[in-house]
Chains A and B, each alone.
Chain A
Amino acid sequence: MSRIALALTINGQRHDVLTEAHRTLLDVLRADLGLTGTKENCLEGECGVCTVLLDGMAVDSCLLLAAQCQGREIVTIEGVSSRGGDDVLARAFIDCGAVQCGYCIPGMIISATAFLDEHPSPSEAEVREALAGNLCRCTGYQKIVDAVLAAGRTSGTETRGDAR
């Protein structure tokens, strides 16, 4: 079976990876690079715990071959806070008590990051729609939605991170 040499830019850092063609970005992130903040669960694009940013867009890393990411820019939960202003989002999740077991939270933060980049002052309905691809079985979502709305308000008054 052929192995493929890939140059992946992850959280601003270049990683040279040699991997089999069938392995997903999620496999490489967790097993090869030790970036275990991105979670693994349904492997079918239903739950969103594996969400990462690919060229700024939220994608399910379980449904993306690592080979598809050659030359593209990936941001994981480990890299999101290094984007500076996005700590606003993590802070809002803490302040709103939006985290219970925590398993869905990395995916939630990544989806919310991509969403707020495009919609700086969203409505509650827009936030709920934006998080439709991220399941949480603990919180009932209300506090997560509150956190994203709060982060939107905060970043509306402060300057959001331009470290992208």
Chain B
Amino acid sequence: MSFDFHEPASIAEAVALAARFGTEARFLAGGTDLLVQIRRKRVAPRHVVSLHRVPGLDTIDANGEIRLGALVTHRALERAPAFQGALRALVEGARVVGGHQIRNVGTVGGNIVNASPAADVVPVLLVLDAAVTCVGPNGAREMKLDEFLLGPGETALRPDELLTSIRFPAPALRSATGFLKAGRRRAMEISVVCVAVWLSLDGDDRCAGVRISLGAVGPRALRSCDRPVESSPRTVSRSRTSAHRQPTGGFSWKHSFRARSGQR
């Protein structure tokens, strides 16, 4: 492998480099995936555009709406005070990615753009209804993460675009998130399946909304469609046993997942 190394100091400069070199260029965030892909000769960029000198890409903004810069590391997600409560699934998803060495360097933006069907943070962001901002030579555009992810290694990102940030609403007062992963081992393992859930209750303990996302079981992480959940008061109980009951209300896996499996 051999390439030229660029260190732009702004998003505009980074995007201009990408536009100039086209498919010969690759952005470098953490590099934990890109360097492996280069070694395996899956990609052979002539130009590597490092994003580390671009200011502001590694910040977490949690005043009201949550905004993650694309270069926020898994380490930073794990340790962010804002994610220790209702948004804890972000911590739970981030902490099962690789070992510490990978999490200290690997970024949330890289995790999204690589579009691995087994990316652990992605289902969490899907249930949080996250949107991504992509900046290209003609300016910025925003789209829902659910629309951004197309398939294995495939996203709606154009070659001259840079994913700069991810945003999602602040958690509602009575809401919670959770994330679980099953792998063949407990660490350093690609998910066999992972699941993220967002749940919101109304004042009567009725389930006001739920979103569920599954990773590693399809060409991309799957998300339940938003639809109103009908539940009678106190069907959502804090007791462990009731969690195993059949879900009530009109929520059907078969129909609520988008029929993407037929595409490939």
A contact set with B: CB distance below 8 Å: 1-2, 4, 20-22, 24, 43-46, 48, 51, 54, 57-60, 62-65, 67-68, 111, 114-115, 129-130, 132-134
A-B contact pairs, 20 of them (CB 8 A): A1-B2, A20-B2, A22-B3, A44-B39, A45-B36, A45-B101, A57-B104, A58-B101, A59-B101, A60-B102, A63-B31, A63-B101, A64-B31, A65-B35, A67-B50, A115-B100, A129-B187, A132-B100, A133-B98, A134-B99
Q: Would you call B28 and A65 a contact (CB within 8 A)? A: yes
Other-chain contact of A132, B3, B32, B36, B187 (Cβ < 8 Å) = B187
Cα(A54)–Cα(B101), bound, Å: 10
- From known contacts A4-B5, A64-B105, infer whether A132 and B48 are also in contact, taking CB-CB under 8 Å: no
Q: How far is the CB of B191 from chain A (nearest CB, A)?
A: 15
Nearest 10 CB-CB pairs, A to B? A133-B99, A132-B187, A21-B5, A57-B104, A60-B101, A133-B101, A22-B1, A132-B99, A63-B32, A63-B35
The answer to whether A21 touches B4 (Cβ under 8 A) is yes
Q: A22 with B39: in contact, given A45-B102, A51-B101, A64-B31 (CB under 8 Å)? A: no
Interchain CB contact under 8 A, A58 and B104: yes
Interface size class of chain B, counting residues whose CB lies under 8 Å from the partner chain = 20 to 34
| Chain B residues positioned under 8 Å from A22 (CB to CB) | 1-3, 38
Taking A58-B104, A60-B102 as known contacts, 12 extra A-B pairs with beta carbons closer than 8 A to each other, sorted by chain A number, are: A2-B4, A21-B2, A22-B2, A43-B36, A44-B39, A45-B36, A48-B99, A54-B105, A63-B36, A65-B28, A133-B102, A133-B187
Contact in complex: A67, B5 (CB < 8 Å): yes
